[in-house]
């Protein structure tokens, strides 16, 4: 599984880093390609402007190792793991470790309601809900 398939399965956004490689950016790190046998990597990094979060890193490291991820690099408060993207437990933990935001998905009922609201708004004669409100206030004053 490549990073694009992983991103579509877990509703994540793919970006490019400085070297034009595809990544899934997150609040605490990134998910990237680069290991053999179809494995993906997750990088946990504390930003340079923040103090190191060693306790947070130790908890995350223990959870990742117990889930079956392989520790590839380790620092005082940061590290890199490789994981199998086809394993749901490892994939969800990798998304959580990196802090990747997932896109929301509307249910069919909510999607139909949103489309109906947009169509109703589009069909208004003045084309603007705000304009319609002010237009009705102007007619009340007359």
Closest listed residue to residue 2, CA positions, set 18, 24, 29, 26: 24
In the chain, where the domains are located: 3-98, 108-141
| pTM assigned to the model | 0.72
The CA-CA-CA angle for residues 82, 84, 86, to 5°, reads: 155
pLDDT, tens digit only, all 142 positions of the chain: 889 999 999 999 999 989 999 999 999 899 999 888 889 999 998 877 888 888 888 999 999 999 999 999 998 889 999 999 999 999 999 999 999 998 888 899 999 999 999 888 887 766 555 555 555 555 555 5
Task: Name the strand (E) or helix (H) holding 91.
Answer: helix 88-98
The CATH number assigned to the domain with range 3-98 reads: 3.90.1150
Q: Which residue has the tokens 């490789």?
A: 82
């Amino acid at each position: 599984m490549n990073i694009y398939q992983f991103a579509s399965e877990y509703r994540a956004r793919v970006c490019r880093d400085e070297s034009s490689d595809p990544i899934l950016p997150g609040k605490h790190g990134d998910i990237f390609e680069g290991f053999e046998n179809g494995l993906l990597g997750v990088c946990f990094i504390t930003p340079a402007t923040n103090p190191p979060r060693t306790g947070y890193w130790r908890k995350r490291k223990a959870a990742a190792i117990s889930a079956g991820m392989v520790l590839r690099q380790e620092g005082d408060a940061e590290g890199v793991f490789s994981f199998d993207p086809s394993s749901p437990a490892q994939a969800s933990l990798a998304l959580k470790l990196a802090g990747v935001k997932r896109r929301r998905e509307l249910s069919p009922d909510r999607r139909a309601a949103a489309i109906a609201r947009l169509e109703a708004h589009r069909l208004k004669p003045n084309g603007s809900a705000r304009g319609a409100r002010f237009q009705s206030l102007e007619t009340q004053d007359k």
